[in-house]
Amino acid sequence: MNKKYVIYIAAIIIIALIVSAAFIYINYSQNANQNSQNSNLTFVDDEGYVTNLTAIPQRIISLAPSCTQFLFAIGVGDKVVGLTTYDNYPYNFSAWIAAGNMTSIGGYSTPSLEAIATLHPDLILTDNINDALLPNMRSLGYKVLVLNPDSITGIYQDISLVGRATGATPQATTLIDNISSSINAINAKIAAANITAPLKVYYEIWSDPLMSAGSTSWVSDVIAKAGGVNIFANETQQYPAVSSETVVQLNPDVILLPTSPGGSGGMAFYGSIAQVEARPGWNSISAVQNNRVDAIDEELFAEPGPRVADQVLAIATCLYPQLFNSAS
């Protein structure tokens, strides 16, 4: 055999071996990197609990409507296998459950551990309403993250947390950027109007007893971002009980009342706007005198979550309709 031909064949074989080895090395490195990203991940939730995941979850249960919204907002809703009967956004989940396309795990505060067990979840998201059940769930081996944001920054942090835990960090980052941009645009419009005296706001959480939003509630932060001043921003409790006399004394410019539960047209907890305005002494409040007692969408404000920019816009529209009405 010609010597040059033998050398030529050997060179081709060596090159082929080098290319094959490089291909194997690259693929191994990529897989190793992916496995390192998907294993032994450590997450700290809003209650300071540390949870370790060994892989990206594929079967997720949501025990709170806010958690469901986080999951669907970052595009991992297809991994949700169970949720509560109270979930109604971003889809009509009751219809999904009735059609057998989604499993109900029970009520918002009464989840069924039996139903959870049948779904074999590798991640459970909840807020603090189920704190009493957490030790039991974790003792059964369930991985649980608690999301309980108390500010808009906290909402961003929870979006990021859910994104990292579910392998959807890019989607979570994009969502945070979009929300932040929307809120910044609202703030810029208010700033451009050169409003010298921000309106004082009373937000009613409940009426018997009267309850409002304190400084550690996300609602108070939303009011501030909407260009208002929460009259109970000095209260350290999230939702403090307040007196009617104090509301009168603090004299809010705007009073915000959630609509009837579920938007069903039923009676709201406070009765009607006319009944609120007729409370003893409230006829001296600026908001009542100037017809600035407004109903806001109870469904929109039911929980903190990815709709926070819509919440800021809703309150800003109540406070400054001249800036945010449909014609502006």
Q: What single letter denotes the amino acid at residue 174?
A: T
- What residue spans of 193-326 are helical by DSSP H? 218-225, 244-250, 273-277, 286-289, 308-319, 321-324
What is the fold, at CATH topology level, of the domain defined by 41-174? Rossmann fold (3.40.50)
State the pTM of this model.
0.85
- Domain boundaries along the sequence of the chain: 41-174, 195-324
Tell me phi and psi for residue 266, to 5 degrees: -75, 180
Helix (H, G, I), strand (E, B) or coil at 35: helix
pLDDT digits (tens), the chain, 328 positions? 555 554 555 555 565 555 455 444 444 444 444 444 444 689 999 999 999 999 999 999 999 999 999 999 999 999 999 999 999 999 999 999 999 999 999 999 999 999 999 999 999 999 999 999 999 999 999 999 999 999 999 999 999 999 999 999 999 999 999 999 999 999 999 999 999 899 999 999 999 999 999 999 999 999 999 999 999 999 999 999 999 999 999 999 999 999 865 444 567 899 999 999 999 999 999 999 999 999 999 999 999 999 999 999 999 999 999 999 865 4
Q: Could you tell me if 125 and 79 are in contact, meaning their C-beta atoms sit under 8 angstroms apart?
A: no
Q: What is the DSSP letter of 133?
A: G
- With residue 177 as reference, give the H or E element that holds it: helix 169-192
CATH class of 195-324: alpha beta
Tokens describing residue 226: 């909407």
Instruction: List strand residue ranges (DSSP E) for 63-179, in order.
Output: 80-83, 103-104, 123-126, 144-146
Burial of 77 (0-12, 13-18, 19+ CB in 10 A): middle
Other beta carbons less than 10 A from residue 221's beta carbon = 25
| Cis preceding-peptide flag for 321 (omega within 30 of 0) | no
**What CA–CA distance (Å, rounded) separates 318 from 215?**
21
